[in-house]
Each structure stands twice: as C-alpha cells, then as structure tokens.
Amino acid sequence: MGIASLDLYSQAIVLFAALALFTSFIMLAQARMMPLIFTFAWQGLLLAVVTVLVALVSNHPHLYISAALTFALKVVVIPWLLYRLSVRLGMQYDAEAIAHPTLLLLGGVALVIFSYHVAQSIVHLSGLATRNTIAVSIAIELLGMLLMCARKSAVAQVIGFMSMESGIFFAAVVSTYGMPLIVELGVAFDILVASILFGVFFFHLRDSFGSLDVGQFNRLSEANQSMPLREAAGEPSAGDPA
C-alpha cells in the first residue's frame, strides 16, 4: 500500500517510525557518550508518539498507558540514570574510537534491507493500519544488536540492549496493537531494575579494572591465559626481575 493512500494518522505513524529508525543510525555512528544518551532519549520519545498515534488509529486505550510508561522510562528515568552514571564515572566527555564507521553504517543499511525483505510477507497478509512499519521495528531491533556488537564501551552496549528492547516493544505495538497491560507493566519494571543493576555493575567494573572498555577485559583474559603457558615454558613473566 502506498503512503499517499493512507490516512493522516497512518502517514504520521510512518513518519515518526522512520525518524525512530534514523535515531538508531545516529546512535550507531555517535562516538561521544552524552549525545549517545540524548539520542536514545529522542528515540524513546518518538516511540511514545508512535504508540499514541497507534492508540488513536486502533482505538485501544491501554496503549496510552504504554506510551506513558515508554515516555517515563526511556525519555526521563533511564537517560537520567545513564547521565548520572556517566558524570560520576567521568565519562560524559569521552569519545570512543569507532573502527571502520563507514562499513558499520553500510552494515546497518544491509540490516534495514534484510528487515524489509523479512517483513514483506507479513505486510501482505496483515490487515492492520500499522503494517507498513513492521519492517522498521525489526530494523530498530537489529541495529540495537549491531550497536552492542560493534562498541567496546559497556555503557554503549547497555544502550544498544535498551534499543533492542525498544524495537521489540515497537514490534508488539505495530503488529498486534500492544501486549496485555500486565505484561507491559512487568516488562517496564524489569527494565527499570535492569538499568539500576547495570549502574551498580559499572561501578564494580570501574573499581576492579579501572575502565569500562570491554576490549581491555578481553586482553586481560588473554594475558591471564597465557601466563601458565609461559611459566610452564620457563619464561619470566612481566613482573619478574630480569
């Protein structure tokens, strides 16, 4: 179905869904921590707006509560917690070096094309007014997973995880007009608890290793595995006197 043949509300849903997808690409290319957190908050705001529009189109009042939960958690609470954590950890001005950013964005484009290919059969069979945005919800989830895999900072990986959850929530809204309210309340509570636990986890990592760079943890693990081999071969370790 062409966009021109849709009603005004459905066109607005497609527009705000496209903007939410665009914020996923911004997060994928954003190296600084503060803009990354703010972009995640903008994505949450756009998803809340889409949820309100879907509630108007489908006449499902419980979606207004879902939109309010999305706004409260992903626009206010979680970005505020991440902001406070970044300030207390001294990471608010940090910029992570992204390896091959052009290839990363091209990989994101490939995931979007794949999402439209996967959702093609669903769109043809669905009779929902929001069927045109099912592919966008899948793409947001896959781009969040790509953000988790591509970044080395633990905070950026948590934001990628939250973006994946946003894609799952968006898919539920546009494909089935939302989950049962009790399920959404449970998921919202789980997300809030997870964000608090992630904060505690960050402080433990910083105190134990002095960094939140996951790449350094991998190098430390490789060094610990190689030490017994060196001792077995009779080679002196780095801390031994010559």
Half-sphere exposure (Cβ direction) of 41: Cα atoms closer than 13 Å: 16
Quick check: is 79 in a domain?
yes
How far CA 156 is from CA of 27, 64, 97, 139, 206, in Å, comes to 9, 29, 12, 18, 15
Quick check: is 152 in a domain?
yes
Quick check: is 198 in a domain?
yes
What is the model's pTM? 0.76
Quick check: is 225 in a domain?
no
The answer to whether 165 and 191 are in contact (CB under 8 A) is yes
Quick check: is 223 in a domain?
no
Residue located via tokens 């929902």: 128
Domain holding 192, by residue range, is: 7-93+100-213
d(CA 195, CA 22): 24
pLDDT of 36 higher than 60: yes
| Strand, coil or helix: 93 | coil
Q: How many domains does the chain have?
A: 1
Quick check: is 228 in a domain?
no
Summarize pLDDT for 105-134 with one digit per residue, the tens.
Answer: 999 999 999 988 888 877 666 656 566 788
Summarize pLDDT for 43-91 with one digit per residue, the tens.
Answer: 999 999 998 888 888 788 888 888 888 898 889 888 888 888 888 777 7
Task: Tell me the residue type at 43.
Answer: Q
Pick from 176, 177, 135, 130: nearest CA to 7:
130
Quick check: is 17 in a domain?
yes
d(CA 67, CA 72): 9
